[in-house]
Homo-oligomer: A and B are copies of this chain.
């Protein structure tokens, strides 16, 4: 799974898809993160006002991490150096 995102909506969708791929409800995620169900809901619905801390907490619970990629560049290892 490798989801690109440039908007809060796309981030939320990636979170939601990963959560469902884990077979978890928002309530499950809430229990694992100490974040309110309401908070997770608005994050998944693309609220750009959500704090980075909240996003990172959810991503950690889902086993996700970021890659900040320059648009248009491929992720070829040869391009690193």
Contacts and interface: CB of A to CB of B under 8 A. Distances in A.
Contacts of A18: 68, 70
How many copies the complex holds: the figure is 2
B64 A68 contact: yes
B73 A75 contact: no
Contacts of A6: 56, 59-60, 65-66
Given A2-B75, A70-B1, A55 B56 contact: no
Contacts of A66: 4-6, 10-11, 66-69
Contact of A68 (B11, B52, B53): B11
Contact of A65 (B47, B49, B71, B80): B71
Given A51-B48, A51-B49, A52-B49, A67 B69 contact: yes
